[in-house]
Structure 1
Amino acid sequence: MPTVETGVQRMITVPTPPLRHQQLILTIYGLYGRRGGGALPVSVLIEMLGALGHDAPGVRSAVSRLKAKGVLNSVRNGGAAKYELSPRWLEMVNEGDERIFAPHRDAPGSPWVLAIFSVPESMRERRHQLRTELTRLGFGSMAAGVWIAPSGVREGAKRRLANRGLAEYVEFFTGDYEPEGDMRARVAQWWDLEALQVQISEFMQYYGSSLADWTAEVGGDPAAALAASGPELRRDAFRYYVPMLTLWRRLPYSDPGLPLDYLPEGWQGPEARRIFFGVHELIAPMAEAHARSLVDDAEAA
């Protein structure tokens, strides 16, 4: 696993998963670009991404692409160039938190939601968009035009499809499902569990020891760790946490909280969740303190 040593800490190494500028920028805005005015100076983005190993030209290019896609809007404040999330993307980020930070898993016998859609043959592109969005939202495909997921994803899915202009093609139904036979076999048909396991394994490859490493370094009390931390450790926490969250955030969509009884033996999802939430509680406050200091310094300059 590729790593780089942190500044002054000797027990912690910072993994470097293969992530693009744009992915990291969206994570940064989701974490630090929603308070106050929500706009971040370009200089702060360059400094933040610089700490993650990316150069200034690449950051500026990524910001330009995100602006062109309607993800970021430019604002002016005292002559300084700043960018904020567009209203549409701000809503999507807020909705994403419901999935990313919700340690939820359904139990056997919990209700399901069916998404049934019908799109005219002349609108094949819409059909493709619907399939893509439902897959990203964690739905499994039962049959042509019939998709299934744990019922807890229903409201978020309705909002997401409405934002995409796709809601008119989909009807949602919630209810029980009492199968005859092996439910594990059915789930394996409806969801691409091999692809999901690859994602989980990648996360564990980079961050499987993260909770043990950080607990050994700063203890198990987040408040005490933050109070005792200095600038170097806070910067290291930032460098560690932002890529970790970026790699994590797709997993709660790919795995919508399927009951463990329906998943293969030895499924690593629960252990990945335990590790992520443990590290999140422990170092996210230190990472935020570092990010806030960069924003405050930029505003004071």
Structure 2
Amino acid sequence: MQSSQAPSEGVILDDIDARPGSTASLLRTFIGLYLRRLDGWISASDLVRFAGRLGIPPAQARTGFTRLKQKGLLLAAREGGIGYRLNPAAIPMLERGDRRIFDVRQMAIGDPWCLLSFSIPETRRDLRHRLRRRLQWIGCGMVSPALWICPGYLQDEVEDILAELDARESATLFRTQTPQVAGSLATAVAGWWDLTALRAEHELFQESIVALPDAVSEPFAAYVRLIDAWRVLPYRDPGLPAQLLPPDWPGQRSFDAHARLSAQLAAPAWDFVRATVGLSAD
């Protein structure tokens, strides 16, 4: 195997800026879903073919592949033909994503919380910005600019972020059962998280599934677009206790819709991928 590009060093591979439904996001979703199951390599022609089933023209798809190489997700690799190999450095990020996307967790009243306090000097304000951005991305709430909170089950992800940013020595983590606040905990939660924006993301997801391709004739396109629309939500929404959220909170409807459609589409979508690349049955 010959690769024209070495694995990226020190690059955060999570393309969190890709807008769901965009070329970059759809290709990223396809790669996350299937490239590991295809032994990490796919021919350029097959990748263009799959992109076409997602409504992406060939020239636009090739530009997308180039951008994913630049992000460090793909490596150009000739293995019996021109193609792409998954960057080994991206696998931990994809595995973390799998746990979030396919194993949705819900916090209950009485479960532990994790608090993160950090002190980063003004000379490293770029690090402060990146840390806050990453904490917000995984669903943490902001108590104050240097104090963040999340369900206890996200502590490992917080630790990973601190390690990746080389910020562990600047931070202290605490575990607590119930934060003691002046008013109600529900009111505090509404201040720590932007529930209005989070509600809008749930509503956008629910609107997007109405426009999915036909599940019978296009299960592959329907499934990839479903996961593409969904995969941001389990990060943005940390799974806060229902008792601390507004009574008409749309989260459960989103979770139920994703679970129902995934159960319907995942197997026929994989059958299509396997048949397209000529892979024998598992």
Report TM bin, short chain.
0.7 to 0.9
CA distance in 2, matches of 1:238, 1:34: 17
- State the match for 2:206 in structure 1: 204
CA distance in 2, matches of 1:117, 1:53: 45
- State the match for 1:183 in structure 2: 185
Q: Of residues 61, 74, 77 in structure 1, which corresponds to 2:76? A: 74
CA distance in 1, matches of 2:58, 2:31: 17
Q: For 1:149-197, what per-residue CA distance to the aligned partner results, in whole angstroms no more than 9, with x for missing partners?
A: 0001111232244234444433222221243431111111000111111
Question: Secondary structure of 2:218's partner?
Answer: helix
CA distance in 2, matches of 1:120, 1:196: 31
Question: Secondary structure of 1:19's partner?
Answer: coil
Q: Of residues 272, 276, 282 in structure 1, which corresponds to 2:258? A: 276
Shift of 1:244: 1.0
Are the equivalent residues in 2 in contact too, given 1:28–1:242 (CA < 8 A)? yes
- State the match for 2:195 in structure 1: 193
- State the match for 2:8 in structure 1: none
Shift in CA distance, 202/36, structure 1 to aligned 2, threshold 3 Å: closer
Are the equivalent residues in 1 in contact too, given 2:20–2:229 (CA < 8 A)? no
CA distance in 1, matches of 2:108, 2:255: 16
Range 261-270 or range 152-161, more displaced: 152-161
Matches of residues 12-27 of structure 1 in structure 2 within 5 Å? 19-27=21-29
Shift in CA distance, 209/86, structure 1 to aligned 2, threshold 3 Å: closer
- State the match for 2:225 in structure 1: 243
Shift of 1:144: 2.2
Are the equivalent residues in 1 in contact too, given 2:20–2:26 (CA < 8 A)? no
CA distance in 2, matches of 1:266, 1:197: 10
Matches of residues 87-98 of structure 1 in structure 2 within 5 Å? 87-98=88-99
Letter in 1 for 2:96: E
TM-score by length of 2: 0.86
- State the match for 2:277 in structure 1: 295
CA distance in 1, matches of 2:166, 2:23: 28
Are the equivalent residues in 2 in contact too, given 1:133–1:161 (CA < 8 A)? no
Point out the structure with the larger helix share.
1
CA distance in 2, matches of 1:270, 1:209: 20
Question: Secondary structure of 1:267's partner?
Answer: coil
Letter in 2 for 1:187: V
Matches of residues 156-167 of structure 1 in structure 2 within 5 Å? 156-167=157-168
Shift of 1:209: 9.1
- State the match for 1:144 in structure 2: 145
Are the equivalent residues in 1 in contact too, given 2:20–2:228 (CA < 8 A)? no
- State the match for 1:112 in structure 2: 113
- State the match for 2:237 in structure 1: 255
Matches of residues 6-85 of structure 1 in structure 2 within 5 Å? 19-78=21-80, 80-85=81-86
Are the equivalent residues in 1 in contact too, given 2:179–2:185 (CA < 8 A)? no
Shift of 1:293: 1.4
Question: Secondary structure of 2:136's partner?
Answer: helix
User: Is 1:264 aligned to 2:269, yes or no?
Assistant: no
Q: For 1:241-282, what per-residue CA distance to the aligned partner results, in whole angstroms no more than 9, with x for missing partners?
A: 101101101111111110011111110101110010111111
Letter in 2 for 1:236: E
Are the equivalent residues in 1 in contact too, given 2:205–2:254 (CA < 8 A)? yes
Letter in 2 for 1:100: I
Are the equivalent residues in 2 in contact too, given 1:237–1:287 (CA < 8 A)? yes
Q: Of residues 266, 285, 292 in structure 1, which corresponds to 2:267? A: 285
Question: Secondary structure of 1:108's partner?
Answer: coil
CA distance in 2, matches of 1:74, 1:167: 34
Gaps of at least 5 residues in structure 1 are: 1-16, 215-232
Shift of 1:46: 0.9
Are the equivalent residues in 1 in contact too, given 2:77–2:85 (CA < 8 A)? yes
Shift of 1:69: 2.1
TM-score by length of 1: 0.81
Shift of 1:96: 1.0
Question: Secondary structure of 1:57's partner?
Answer: helix
**Residue correspondences, number:** 260
CA distance in 2, matches of 1:184, 1:70: 41
